[in-house]
Amino acid sequence: MEHVSFEVERGTTLAILGGSGSGKSTLLRYLIGLEQPQAGRIDIHGVGEPHRYHGVPSFGVLFQSGALFSSLTLEQNLALPLTTWTPIRGATARRLCQAKLELVGLGPFAGHLPGEISGGMKKRAGIARALILEPDLLFFDEPSAGLDPITAVELDQLIVTLSRDLGITVVIVTHELPSIFLVAGSCIVLDKTAKGIVARGDPKTLRDESTIPFVHNFFSRSSPGVPAGQRV
Amino acid sequence: MRLQSENGGVDIRADTDGDRARLAPGGSFDLAHAASVALAIERMPPSLERCRSIDVDLANLNHFDGAGAVLLAQLIDRLEANGHRTRIVEHTNPEAARLIDLYRGRLVNPHTAEARARTPLARIGAAAAKLPDTLSDAFDFAGRCAVAVPKAAAAPHSVDWRALTGLVQEIGADGVVVTGAANLLVGLIIGLLGISQLARFGAVTYVPELVVVAQFRELGPLVTAIVVAGRTGAGLASELATMKVSEEVDALRAMGFDPLRWLVVPRCVALVAVMPLLTWIGDVLAILGGFAATMAVTDMTARAYIEGTISAITAGHLLGGLVKTPFLGLAIGLIACGQGLAAQGGAAAVGARTTRAVVLAILGVIVANTLFTFVFTLLGI
């Protein structure tokens, strides 16, 4: 990956798109500080390189599987970062965790273990955990992967609602076309042959107007049995 | 009247006028100050209770985020639940008002709080209430395993026999060093104990017989079974529990396999076959341990020890111990596999079931060995 440069406006949602091997997930790992790029610079809130694993994370991340700790209840999963990074304990911590779980529709499941809830619920709980430290930036890695279409749309709508109501900036890695059009205000398209960004802008505009073959094919993907080029 | 609740840079000012009040939270109502906010809310003046109508003015808030919104929303919910009429003065800070509105009506789920607040006595009661179900599940599993055996015999292809050699290698050959070492040391201990006690009566010549009888009849099978329960029991339980939580067992079922025949039968067969061998090897090593102890601390000759040992070994002692080892192996297999297949949830369930399998397997072999000894004593064997 060589030619990647982009900015995300506060309060907006950016989707990182691309085919398999285009570097979407690698770029996300750079952005959240799990890996360091060999060259280049990442500024979050204008603070410089994201060496964030030695202090309070300034953003939340929803991993593809939800990445909840299976030995902890949902409430304990949320309480872990809260009690690690803040002096909040006891009843106040429980109230904050409960409120976040309620926010994503999981209030009654606070005492459940991740193994006892469905895949969609795990992702909702993952979002609640990502929100617990009140970040103003959230990263999502393929949030609707492995979910049925209805649950995927519900999750996308939750992301839109949270982003709008909480004023959070969202960066989402996905290749699900319905998610892209529902969630993203803008997007960048990565291509492995170009080793970087080949297009950027509003997804609907790119779909309708892009003349770049890769971008055109990406947005013109069709289900089996549907003639190629028919729009989703 | 003006009252104020202040704590750590945040304050809630309350101006009361008859049955009306105006609450003005001020300062930083954010995550960094959440503990102070909670305390300031707790210290709200009781005179507020007399007010029917309460306005919440957000103009004095410096910093505000979701954590502050949660705590203020819950305060407002609580006031309304107590019969107060509340109104947020929105125009002074519309952003904060919107966030508070987002969290309104999201009170702590009482069921969760109740579950969390269980006392130790309640937990003991809950565990006791579960006991009949636990026993019923155990008998159900044993019954289904008993049914699986003739079915496996009738349809040998329904059992994963290819895994058997690997299991024998894993349980037997790979475990012989540990079981052997344990038995060698037990033989040494019996020898030293025998010497220290029998020497007082000048009966050191009976040490070889003591080692043979104690080891062959009781300690050999028991020590071997306990080591196998710890080593193999943990391995089998965690393997099957991992398969269960990762839906491999469901996949087997979906493909028409009976997990009891495919997974449990070969493991139990391997344990039943290997346990007598491990015990026999352990018996031989225990005799060596007793021999080493006797040679080290007494004047008995090696020839006298060997002759004493040979004369002490009888078919009754040898078989009295070995005959129970397949049953101990079967108990370990059933308990470990049963616990593994009962796992539900994630990684935590695997760990919990593995621990439980080892504890129950060790307890199980001790109980089974005691029963055998009791029966043999009654029968005069």
Tell me the sheet residues that pair with B28: B63
Q: Which residues pair with A187 in a beta bridge?
A: A15, A201
pLDDT computed for residue A213 by the predictor: 84
Q: Do A113 and B66 touch (CB under 8 A)?
A: no
Q: State the average pLDDT over residues B135-141.
A: 88
Predicted pLDDT at A222: 44
β-pair type (A196-201, A186-191): antiparallel
Give the pLDDT confidence score for residue B60 in this predicted structure: 86
pLDDT at B111 over 50: no
Chain A residues with CB-CB distance to B34 below 8 A: 86, 88, 92, 96
A102 touches chain B (CB under 8 A): yes
Q: Sorting pLDDT into bands at 50, 70 and 90, what band is A225?
A: very low
Give chain B positions within 8 Å (CB) of A98.
Answer: 106, 108-109, 112
CA–CA separation, A220 and A189 (whole Å)? 14
What is the rounded distance in angstroms from the CA atom of residue B327 to the CA atom of residue B343? 24
- Nearest-angstrom CA–CA distance, B215 and B309: 12
Mutate one of A10, A65, A102, A133 to test the B interface: name it (highest B CB count within 10 A): A102
Q: Are A115 and B344 inside 8 Å of each other by CB?
A: yes
Query: What pTM was computed for the model?
Result: 0.61
Q: List phi, psi (to 5°) of B4.
A: -140, 135
User: How much is the pLDDT for B105?
Assistant: 66
- Measured CA to CA, the distance from residue B361 to residue B343 in angstroms comes to 16
Q: What integer is the mean pLDDT of A69-74? A: 82
What is the distance between the alpha carbons of residues A159 and A144, in angstroms, rounded to a whole number? Answer: 11
A residues 30-89 lying closer than 8 A (beta carbon) to B: 70-72, 75, 86-89
Per-residue pLDDT reduced to its tens digit, B267-291: 999 999 999 999 999 999 999 999 9
Backbone angles phi, psi at A13, to 5 degrees: -120, 125
Q: How far is B29 from chain A (nearest CA, A)?
A: 12
Could you tell me the CA-to-CA distances from B69 to A186, B37, B38 in Å, in that order?
30, 10, 11
Q: Is A118 on the interface with B (CB under 8 A)?
A: no
State whether residue A99 sits within 8 Å of chain B by CB: yes
Instruction: Using a CB–CB cutoff of 8 Å, tell me whether A158 touches chain B.
Output: no
- With an 8 Å Cβ cutoff, are A95 and B71 in contact? yes
Contact A38, A4 (CB under 8 A): no
Task: Mark yes or no for CB contact B345/A92 under 8 Å.
Answer: no
Residues B321-379 pLDDT 10s: 999 999 999 999 999 999 999 998 778 889 999 999 999 999 999 999 999 999 998 98
Taking 50 as the threshold, does the pLDDT of residue A223 lie above it? no
Q: Residues with Cβ < 8 Å from A62, sequence gap 6 or more? A: A123, A126, A127, A130, A138, A139, A140, A141, A143
- Measured from the Cβ of residue B309, the count of other Cβ atoms closer than 10 Å reads 18
pLDDT by residue (tens digit) across A129-171? 999 999 989 999 989 888 888 888 999 999 999 888 888 999 9
Q: Quote the CA–CA distance of B112 and A109 in Å, as a whole number.
A: 8
Q: Does B126 touch chain A (CB under 8 A)?
A: no
CA B323 to centroid of chain Cα atoms: 31
Q: Which residue in B236, B234, B264, B228 sits closest to B368, CA to CA? A: B228
Tell me which chain A residue has its CA closest to the CA of residue B107. A99
Question: Looking at beta carbons, which residues of chain B come within 8 Å of A92?
Answer: 34-35, 38, 71
pLDDT confidence bin for B90, thresholds 50/70/90: confident
Q: Is residue A67 pLDDT above 50, yes or no?
A: yes
Q: Hey, how many other C-beta atoms are within 10 angstroms of the C-beta on B157? A: 8
For residue range B25-72, list pLDDT tens digits in order: 888 888 888 888 888 888 877 777 778 888 888 888 888 888 888 888
- CB within 8 A of B162, min separation 6: which ones? none
Point out the residue among A75, A95, A115 whose CB comes nearest to the CB of B70.
A95
Tell which of A71, A74, A131 to mutate to test the B interface (max B CBs under 10 Å). Answer: A71
Is B109–A98 a contact, with Cβ atoms under 8 angstroms apart?
yes
Contact between A98 and B106 using a beta-carbon 8 Å cutoff: yes
CB–CB contact A88 B31 (8 Å): yes
> Residue B116's pLDDT is what?
54
Q: Is there a contact between B64 and B94 (Cβ–Cβ < 8 Å)? A: no
A188–chain B nearest CA distance, Å = 30
